[in-house]
Amino acid sequence: MRSTHYIRDGHQIRLLEGGKEYFAALIDAIGRARSQVHLETYIFDFNGAGAQVAEALLRAGSRGVRVWVVVDGVGSGPLPNAWRQRFADAGVEWRVYSPLSKLGLMIPSRWRRLHRKLCVVDGQLAFCGGINILDDLYDPYHGVLEKPRLDFTVAATGALVQEVQETTSQLWWRMQAVRYVRQHNFPEAFSSFKAAGLHLPWTQAENMAQSAHIVARAGLLLRDNLLHRGQIEKAYRKAIGLARHDIVIANAYFLPGRKIRKALIHAASRGVRVRLLLQGRYEYFMQFHAARPVYGILLAAGVEIYEYTASFLHAKVAVIDAYHERPWATVGSSNLDPLSLLMAREANVVVADGPFAKQLHTRLEQAMVFESKHIAAEQFANRPLYQRALDWMAYGLMRSVLFLTGKRY
């Protein structure tokens, strides 16, 4: 197995595809909760399956479980009044990370968003992936979808659960401290900052069916603006550098920096088969078009590119050497683009385990063969002039955004 300091033995990992599988597992776990549920998400939408998750949180709060929910101030709209009152009555605590001021996103520091999707129940079971609390067949901007978006989450027990517990608790108490400072309640602010450094005990989960899980080596990767600025990107680069046979990356918003591009090109040059599964349906102007100027360089190096067209691609996963001696896979919230790798709070789980890697690889292979279109180098080079103009316009806009943040990528 690959030697990485953040990966430890003894985890049970289950791969969950889409909201249908994730929400069923999440609601079941919340239903079993006895002491605490900590949930972080970029989007919490109350339509369809999102309302079912909200109802589960209400039931947990009503029976005395401590329920903390943190949502992003851009990704999630205002908490509906009806739900606000119901949450308050049940004791469910709701916080908004970095709510926008009157200037909105005109201030570059406000581009640092809470993009990770984490949940930990009773300090025993953790969820980490790319799936928001958002119904599979609904999109806030595009309405009803014909087919569910492609995305993944993992359910995990093991030592990484403690890391998720501490990560969510630390953010909660730091946000509490900021609230107290604004209220000039400095004793409580000090207590909250102190609590943010807490170290919580971990116990093994009791209720997970052994047959549904894979005993694996795994670890949690974070990206923030303090201690973990480059952890996820470095893990990707190291895994790509160690690849010997096959790399498959599925990414919704793909605009890798120079170092990751070079790593992919070098892998292809030494005979590794490199395949990218990327967004094939128009969602957002900048993310959709800004990725395409990078295609030409990668295609020329022998990298294969597939665009997912069955529905929206929202996955942020990768699998390397799944059928060989050193398998590596990751599932999480981090795109390979500057917003994720330079500014947002992100979380990925890395799994170094053959059966898990094979399961993920099989699903991505199916998506590339049956649900995507292959982008040929000649076809891409001959795309219409207006498309090339839009691509370079979006790419230039993205570079301008980076310039304003003062970051290099």
Render pLDDT for 163-173 as a digit per residue (tens, 0 to 9): 999 999 999 98
d(CA 350, CA 345): 17
8 in any annotated domain? no
Ranges assigned E (strand) in 98-254:
117-121, 125-129, 138-139, 143-144, 152-157, 214-223, 246-251
62 and 102 share one domain: yes
DSSP state of 335: -
Q: For 108-117, what is each residue's pLDDT tens digit?
A: 667 889 999 9
Least Cα distance to 149 among 167, 131, 128 occurs for 131
Confidence of residue 21 (pLDDT cuts 50, 70, 90): very high
Confidence of residue 188 (pLDDT cuts 50, 70, 90): low
Per-residue model confidence (pLDDT) at position 94: 96
72 and 22 share one domain: yes
Q: For 199-215, what is each residue's pLDDT tens digit?
A: 444 444 444 444 455 67
d(CA 282, CA 286): 10
Per-residue model confidence (pLDDT) at position 148: 97
Confidence of residue 371 (pLDDT cuts 50, 70, 90): very high
Ranges assigned E (strand) in 158-197:
none
Between β-strands 66-72 and 92-97, what pairing exists: parallel, antiparallel or unpaired? parallel
With 50 as the cut, is the pLDDT of residue 118 above it?
Answer: yes
Q: How far is CA 169 from the centre of its chain?
A: 18
Q: How far is CA 382 from the centre of its chain?
A: 34
CB neighbour list of residue 325: distance below 8 Å, 6 or more residues apart: none
d(CA 314, CA 278): 9
Cα separation values, 130 from 118, 138, 152, Å:
9, 16, 6
Q: Which of 176, 211, 246 is the last residue of a domain?
A: 211
CB 92 within 8 A of CB 30: no
Name the amino acid, one letter, at 21. Answer: E
95 and 109 share one domain: yes
Q: Which of 185, 211, 237 is the last residue of a domain?
A: 211
120 in any annotated domain? yes
Provide the whole-model pTM.
Answer: 0.91
As a whole number, the mean pLDDT across the chain is 90
As given in the structure block, the two tokens for residue 314 are 């929202």
The mean per-residue pLDDT over the stretch 128-145 comes to 95
Per-residue model confidence (pLDDT) at position 168: 96
96 and 138 share one domain: yes
Confidence of residue 181 (pLDDT cuts 50, 70, 90): low
Confidence of residue 285 (pLDDT cuts 50, 70, 90): confident
Share of the chain above pLDDT 90, in %: 75
Name the amino acid, one letter, at 383. Answer: R
Q: What is the CATH number of the domain that holds 147?
A: 3.30.870.10
Per-residue model confidence (pLDDT) at position 131: 98
The mean per-residue pLDDT over the stretch 261-273 comes to 98
Per-residue model confidence (pLDDT) at position 402: 78
Q: Which of 41-45, 118-122, 228-232 has the lowest mean pLDDT?
A: 228-232
The mean per-residue pLDDT over the stretch 67-79 comes to 95
The total number of structural domains in the chain stands at 2
Least Cα distance to 229 among 71, 345, 120 occurs for 345
Least Cα distance to 39 among 72, 16, 64 occurs for 72
2 in any annotated domain? no
As given in the structure block, the two tokens for residue 321 are 């050497």
Confidence of residue 263 (pLDDT cuts 50, 70, 90): very high
264 and 366 share one domain: yes
